[in-house]
Each structure stands twice: as C-alpha cells, then as structure tokens.
C-alpha cells in the first residue's frame, strides 16, 4: 500500500473513495467544497492506493481556537476507506501519516467528530472535558464524539476554547453522526 499527498489531478480518485465508503454524495461534496475553500488552508489531503487503485482518503483542514488564534490546529474530516478494503488498517495508517506530516508543519492539535471506540485507538480523546468546544453541539447519543489528539507536548494543558472550522465545514449537518 502507498499513502501520499493527493495531487490536484487526483480529485476524482478522492471523490470515488468518499462515495464508495459512505454510499452517498454528501462527503464527496464536502471534500470538493473544502478543497476549494480558502478558509480551509493550509490543508492536507492524503490518498491510499493498493495496486494503483485508490482505496482510502483523509482530509485535514485548518481551524482555529477562539482563545488562541495563533495556535496551529486542524480538523480531520472526512476519513474514508472503500468497503472492500476496510478492516485492513488503512484508515489508521492514513491518520498516522497525516498526524506525522501535520506535526512536522507545526500543527499542535487535531480535532474531529467521530466514534470514540475507533478514534481512541489512534490517540484521540474526548475534547469537551478538556475545555475544547466544538463548532456545533455534538449529538447526545455521542457525548464523547468530539475528540482531540495532541501532536506536540503541552497544547492540551495550555489551551481551551471554541474551535472554529473552515467555512465549508461550518454547517450543523456535518457535526452529527448517523
């Protein structure tokens, strides 16, 4: 398997993965919109390939903390693996590759809204108890679904506040888990 930064010419590969993984157009539309949203920059789009076939995609976009706008943070959304390639560790490898690249570029915290049972295996922890408020309220059925991962030491203990996401992600429909 190869994981690398997606080229502009590989947009259709990323959208294929999103459509196949989620079985709908919403995440593909979100990816397209984020890639064209100046407020999402800097961003990191990674594709995973098996035998030259796209099988996974993850997108990290810039965000900021209301109380510390200078702090480099990102939001992971979405993460997708095509159904026939799931449960092979591809999603985890995409997360780890992204975390390593973001850390090297100075990003200190990565946030997401997702399933704690999955994301805690990849270094994420509930963010609300740590004082980090999501862009929109999280669903009651997923009280720990708003999560954070520290990429450099000290940021979690030193900061708190509301996370502001890119304009294209600033819609309550993206902050629920179905």
Dump pLDDT digits (tens) for 37-58.
Answer: 999 999 999 999 999 999 999 9
Which residues are CB-contacts of 155 (< 8 A; sequence separation ≥ 6)?
71, 108, 109
Asked if pLDDT for residue 106 goes beyond 80, the answer is yes
Asked if pLDDT for residue 178 goes beyond 60, the answer is no
Q: How many domains does the chain have?
A: 1
Dump pLDDT digits (tens) for 119-172.
Answer: 999 999 999 999 999 998 887 777 899 999 999 878 999 999 999 999 999 988
CATH number of the domain encompassing residue 79: 3.40.630.30
The residue range of the domain holding 14 is 2-175
Q: Are 164 and 135 in contact (CB under 8 A)?
A: yes
- Which two tokens mark 97? 């590759």
Of 11-25, 34-48, 59-73, 130-144, the one with minimum mean pLDDT is 130-144
- Predicted local confidence at residue 172, as pLDDT: 82
pLDDT category of residue 176 using cuts at 50, 70 and 90? low
Q: What is the pLDDT averaged over residues 91-102?
A: 98
Other Cβ atoms closer than 10 A to 17:
28
What pTM was estimated for this model as a whole?
Answer: 0.95
């Amino acid at each position: 398997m190869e994981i690398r930064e997606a080229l502009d010419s590989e947009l259709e590969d990323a959208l294929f993965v999103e459509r196949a993984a989620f079985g709908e157009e919403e995440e593909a539309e979100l990816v397209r919109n984020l890639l064209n949203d100046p407020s999402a920059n800097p961003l990191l789009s990674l594709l995973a390939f098996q035998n030259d076939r796209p099988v996974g995609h993850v997108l990290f976009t810039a965000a900021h903390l209301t109380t510390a706008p200078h702090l480099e943070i990102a939001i992971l959304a979405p993460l997708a693996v095509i159904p026939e390639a799931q449960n092979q560790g591809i999603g985890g490898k995409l997360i780890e590759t992204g975390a390593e690249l973001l850390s090297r570029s100075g990003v200190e915290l990565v946030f997401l809204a997702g399933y704690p049972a999955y994301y805690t295996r990849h270094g994420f922890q509930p963010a609300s108890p740590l004082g980090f408020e999501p862009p929109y309220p999280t669903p009651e059925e997923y009280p720990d679904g708003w999560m954070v991962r520290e990429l450099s030491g000290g940021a979690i203990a030193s900061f708190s506040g509301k996370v502001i996401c890119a304009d294209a992600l600033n819609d309550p429909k993206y902050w629920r888990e179905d």
